[in-house]
Amino acid sequence: MKRPKIALIGGGNVGGTLALLIANQKLGDICILDIPDVENIMKGKALDVMQLRPHVGSDVNLMGTSDYEDLKNTDVAIITAGIARKPGMDREDLLNINIGIITEVANNLKQVAPNAFVIVLSNPLDAIVYSFYKISGFPKNQVVGMAGALDSGRFRTFVSMETGFSVEDIQCLVLGGHGDTMVPITRLSSVAGVPLEEVIPKDRIDEIVKRVRFAGGEIVKLYGTGSAYFAPAQCAIEMAEAYLMDKKRVIPCASLCEGEFGINGYFIGVPTVIGSGGVERILEFKLTTDEQAALDKTLEVIKKTVAETGV
């Protein structure tokens, strides 16, 4: 059986980590693309991971390139291209530079891989995934952004760190924009089905929620020269795997809403069913008044950033 072809557009920290994870998990053949100035580095990363394969029993093939023609017949494209956050920057500070990059990516990808399922990781996420969708003309089911997948994982991590319980038994949901106005739904969070409020005092939950909202910035400050890459890469793998294996996973992702949760025409973090049809469905549920108000607030931030793209 022919292996799927996975394109990694952007071969920095996230792209390199993705290549390693995909090879380890044997998801498909990998093409790492970046600008001509670093093409040899991409080829080096591909060769490095190729030489790792005997130790993990993986036969996937890898190549590094700067030529979009090498992305023909791509099944999944994971976009990480763009500059990373630096200390003192928020995601909106990245917009002017990264909008130019995503425009080039969209224009090229629609020529060589019009049927690819596209997962966008570049920040500011909500505006960049919207811009890719508009510029590329891809159907809405083929385009998704990694938002709540990472944020929900961070929420689960912090609950596990607080309680000492396994992350496997912790369920958390984060809606909204991939930024400081995200909306952790504590009401639906649980430990093995036990409501979170029964496990952790409210004041500690509030502290955890605050840490979730600023978790990306916390890592940026610690790194000093970049942003998170291990966890974002694994989240993208989950999304790609759900598509390639038709798993019907329900993952909080930035999907195009057309009326769901009262939102129309914007990509925002919502529970998204990913299967072989790409974005197959958005699971809508009734929010409390406070939750809806918080979602409306994050939507206004997204609208402002999207308007600034000029797309």
pLDDT 10s digits, 47-97: 999 999 999 999 999 999 999 999 999 999 999 998 876 666 665 667 888
Per residue in 270-289, pLDDT tens?
999 999 999 999 999 999 99
pLDDT averaged over every residue in the chain: 95
Q: Are 231 and 97 in contact (CB under 8 A)?
A: no
Structure tokens at 223: 């790194």
Task: Quote the pLDDT of residue 89.
Answer: 64
Distance CA 201, CA 187 (A): 13
- For strand 5-9 and strand 194-195, is the pairing parallel, antiparallel, or unpaired? unpaired
Spatial CA neighbour of 118 closest among 99, 145, 94: 145
Q: Could you tell me the pLDDT band of residue 197, with boundaries at 50, 70 and 90? A: very high
Spatial CA neighbour of 228 closest among 13, 81, 19, 80: 13
Distance CA 95, CA 39 (A): 25
Distance CA 60, CA 301 (A): 41
Which amino acids are annotated catalytic?
A: 178
As a whole number, mean pLDDT of residues 99-120 equals 97
Q: Are 218 and 228 in contact (CB under 8 A)?
A: no
Reduced 3-state DSSP string for 110-178: HHHCCCCEEEECCCCHHHHHHHHHHHHCCCHHHEEECCHHHHHHHHHHHHHHHHCCCHHHEECCEEECC
Task: Quote the pLDDT of residue 65.
Answer: 98
pTM attached to this predicted model = 0.96
Structure tokens at 221: 């400050």
CATH of 148-309, one of 1.10.150.130, 3.90.110.10, 3.30.930.10, 3.30.1360.30: 3.90.110.10
In this predicted structure, the answer to whether residue 252 has a pLDDT above a threshold of 90 is yes
Structure tokens at 278: 């790409």
Domains of the chain by residue range = 5-145, 148-309
As a whole number, mean pLDDT of residues 196-213 equals 97
Task: Quote the pLDDT of residue 190.
Answer: 98
What is the H or E stretch that residue 291 is in?
helix 289-309
Q: Could you tell me the pLDDT band of residue 179, with boundaries at 50, 70 and 90? A: confident
Q: Are 267 and 256 in contact (CB under 8 A)?
A: yes
Q: Could you tell me the pLDDT band of residue 225, with boundaries at 50, 70 and 90? A: confident
In this predicted structure, the answer to whether residue 171 has a pLDDT above a threshold of 70 is yes
In a 3-state reduction of DSSP, which class is residue 306? Answer: helix
CATH of 5-145, one of 3.40.50.720, 1.10.10.60, 3.40.50.410, 3.90.420.10: 3.40.50.720
As a whole number, mean pLDDT of residues 33-41 equals 98
